[in-house]
Amino acid sequence: MLTLNCPYCGLDKDETELAYGGEAHLKRFGPGSTDEDFESYIFGRENPKGVHFERWRCASGCTKWFHAARCTVTMEVFGTYSAQTFEPPKAIKDAISKKRPGWTWRNFS
Amino acid sequence: MKRYSAFAIAREAFRQHKGWERAWANPEPKKAYDVVIIGAGGHGLATAYYLGKNFGITNVAIIEKGWLGGGNTGRNTTIIRSNYLQDPSAAIYEKARSLYEGLSQDLNYNIMFSPRGVLMLAQTEHEVRGYKRTAQANSLQGVTTEFINAQQVKKICPIMNIDGPRYPVLGGLWQARGGTARHDAVAWGYARACSDMGMHILQKTEVTGVTQEGGNVTGVETSRGHIGCNKLGIVVAGHSSVVADMAGFRLPLESVPLQALVSEPIKPCMDIVVMANTVHGYMSQSDKGEMVIGGGTDSFNGYHQRGSFHHLEETVRALIETFPMIARLKMLRHWGGIVDVTGDRSPILSKTPLGGCFINSGWGTGGFKAIPGSGWGFAELMAKGHSPLTAEFGLDRFREGRFIDESVAAGVAH
Ligand SMILES: Cc1cc2nc3c(=O)[nH]c(=O)nc-3n(C[C@H](O)[C@H](O)[C@H](O)COP(=O)(O)OP(=O)(O)OC[C@H]3O[C@@H](n4cnc5c(N)ncnc54)[C@H](O)[C@@H]3O)c2cc1C
Ligand SMILES: [Zn+2]
């Protein structure tokens, strides 16, 4: 069972108490954007085998959305952080680099 | 290749079974092939088989990082049905189902196809309406299904409790010609036939890169060196995004673990396949007597081939209401496979942004039933650049908004 720490209420939550929100840090493209951008935003996914950034909701807790950095192979959690950001904070990136030197994900590394 | 037959068994019985040959060869890789298929699961092997059989293309290698049939093909619960809602789905799944009927003869390999009937339970009013609609659609598509009432369900499957308090059985969508087959045998049968045509099945060979020149594929980097090709087929199920990344494009896919479990063997008690989509559970009895039970997928991406335990608990807990007798069964094994799920729950059989490179993926939780039809259509697409069976399943449907929406039709798509 996956356990994540909600950065808002500070509690450790089991996956059954959380709701998954898919890939994190998507840049939204709406009406007026090109077909390519719209398609890539709605459907294109990183789906990496390894380091991943994703959105979770503290569904049966404080109900807030937050971010998590996780390895999709080992299920290791590198950290959770606020939803009010466009990219993972430095502390999270450093935590990942310690365990997965040379990692990249979209434009982050 | 020596044919398998009753006569061969008798002949071998007289000489201590010393005359059986290896079912497929274990060759050294050549420098290049006309066609390279990545992934020796059912879909990759079937593609190679129909490339040879229907188009005479036999200078083919099928490259597999593990052992053939060791991916989802060897992990699935083998439900075969074609009662889909949308026309393109019904066409390819029904093609597959009808090929399954004659596949043992075609391959000279007993794939143990058992058309025992598949029943999809309606346990809510919503499902009743949905399945009635599917039955109507199926009759227009030439797929034989019918909506049956709760009493008929009880008659076909007496071990079922049809008046449970939470999920009473209100009826079901019955496809008498659906059923199961032996999953390994499907991979083995195709592999033997491919090897017999001179194709190379390269096991324990991992593809680590895709090479290209001027926008066209030129080959693959593997753990056994570079292997050249004119055409490349990526048929790697849960690892599609990983291999597509090597080829330089992204896919509309997410990979998640899907789990199944089997019980201790018991006497025959259920001779059909039952799917209960409201509670995300389905069950059949294997020839050995084990109850084969499948559940839902994890909600979040994962490549860890295990899955979250609570899904098994939920599946079994819900099935117990409808099948009270399983409450006392001991479960023997459980396992998971990584399935590749698209937004519209339909597969991708398509050209790709890389010239000469094709992809067959997105079968998600329900591609075993499609293996012969998918191989048939994908081989045609790779050989001729177009196939009526695969035309609607292109990657361009996501850009153009032409979804083949099976997610509304069935919550579970096994
Ligand atoms: C638990 C479970 C139950 C299921 N139940 C059903 C069911 O009842 N009915 C149904 O129709 N479907 C079912 N499915 C789905 C079905 O199993 C799959 O859709 C189908 O088997 C996919 O076949 P495939 O040949 O595409 O993939 P696989 O059989 O997974 O083959 C892909 C192969 O590619 C190889 N590969 C991956 N990456 C590389 C690389 N880099 N280099 C070389 N090789 C590579 C893998 O090792 C693997 O052998 C189920 C799946 C699971 C997991
Ligand atoms: Zn919280």
Are B308 and A46 within 8 A, CB to CB? Answer: no
Contact B297, B326 (CB under 8 A): no
Closest ligand 1 atom to the C-alpha of B259?
1
Contact B8, B154 (CB under 8 A): no
Pocket test for ligand 1, best of B80, B234, B236 (most atoms within 8 A of CB): B236
What letter would DSSP give residue A52? E
Are B304 and A16 within 8 A, CB to CB? Answer: no
Are A45 and B310 within 8 A, CB to CB? Answer: no
Which of B314, B325, B324, B333 minimizes the C-alpha distance to B412?
A: B314
Encoded tokens for B10: 């008798």
Are B250 and A45 within 8 A, CB to CB? Answer: yes
Which helix (H) or strand (E) covers residue A4, if one does?
Answer: strand A3-5
How many Cβ atoms sit within 10 Å of the Cβ of residue B7? 9
Residue numbers in B near A44 (CB within 8 A): 250-252
Q: How close is the Cα of A33 to the center of ligand 1, in Å?
A: 36
B59 in A contact zone (CB under 8 Å): no
- CATH code of the domain occupying B118-180+255-342: 3.30.9.10
Select from A39, A45, A74 the Cβ nearest to the Cβ of B254: A45
Please list the residue range(s) of chain B that carry CATH number 3.50.50.60. Answer: 28-82+84-109+183-252+344-400
- Provide the ipTM: 0.95
B211 exposure class (CB count in 10 Å sphere: 0-12, 13-18, 19+): middle
Residues with Cβ–ion distance below 5 A, ligand 2: A 6, 8-9, 58, 61-62
Contacts of B233 (CB under 8 A, 6+ apart): B35, B36, B37, B38, B44, B47, B358, B359, B360, B378, B382
Please give the single-letter amino acid code of residue B12.
E
Residue numbers in B near A46 (CB within 8 A): 241, 250
Query: Cα B127 vs. chain centroid, distance in angstroms?
Result: 24
Q: Give residue B414's pLDDT.
A: 58
B246 in A contact zone (CB under 8 Å): no
Closest ligand 1 atom to the C-alpha of B337?
53
Q: Is B70 in the pocket of ligand 1 (CB under 6 A)?
A: yes
Pocket test for ligand 1, best of B293, B368, B371, B378 (most atoms within 8 A of CB): B368
The C-alpha atoms of residue A38 and residue A33 are separated, in whole angstroms, by 6
B304 in A contact zone (CB under 8 Å): yes
Q: Give residue A89's pLDDT.
A: 97
The C-alpha atoms of residue B3 and residue B123 are separated, in whole angstroms, by 47
From residue B48, alpha-carbon distances to B38, B59, B386, B401 in Å are 10, 10, 16, 31
Encoded tokens for A5: 């720490």
Please list the residue range(s) of chain B that carry CATH number 3.30.9.10. Answer: 118-180+255-342
Residue numbers in A near B241 (CB within 8 A): 45-49
Q: Give residue B280's pLDDT.
A: 81
Contact A23, A54 (CB under 8 A): yes
The C-alpha atoms of residue B36 and residue B232 are separated, in whole angstroms, by 5
Q: How close is the Cα of A99 to the center of ligand 2, in Å?
A: 26
In tens digits, chain B (414 residues) has pLDDT values of 889 999 999 999 999 999 999 999 999 999 999 999 999 999 999 999 999 999 999 999 999 999 999 999 999 999 999 999 999 999 999 999 999 999 999 999 999 999 999 999 999 999 999 999 999 999 999 999 999 999 999 999 999 999 988 889 999 999 999 999 999 999 999 999 999 999 999 999 999 999 999 999 999 999 999 999 999 999 999 999 999 999 999 999 999 999 999 999 999 999 999 999 887 889 999 999 999 999 889 999 999 988 999 999 999 988 999 999 999 999 999 999 999 999 999 999 999 999 999 999 999 999 999 999 999 999 999 999 999 999 999 999 999 999 998 876 554 555
Q: Is B203 in the pocket of ligand 1 (CB under 6 A)?
A: no
Assigned CATH topology for domain A3-99:
Folate-binding fold (3.30.2270)
Q: Is B258 in the pocket of ligand 1 (CB under 6 A)?
A: yes
Encoded tokens for A6: 């909600």
Q: Is B183 in the pocket of ligand 1 (CB under 6 A)?
A: no
Which of B175, B102, B101 minimizes the C-alpha distance to B138?
A: B175
Contacts of B1 (CB under 8 A, 6+ apart): B21, B192, B195, B196
Which of B351, B395, B411 minimizes the C-alpha distance to B403?
A: B395
| A55-106 pLDDT, tens digit each | 999 999 999 999 999 999 999 999 999 999 999 999 999 999 999 999 999 9
The C-alpha atoms of residue A13 and residue B57 are separated, in whole angstroms, by 55
Residue numbers in B near A73 (CB within 8 A): 302-304
Architecture of domain B28-82+84-109+183-252+344-400: 3-Layer(bba) Sandwich (3.50)
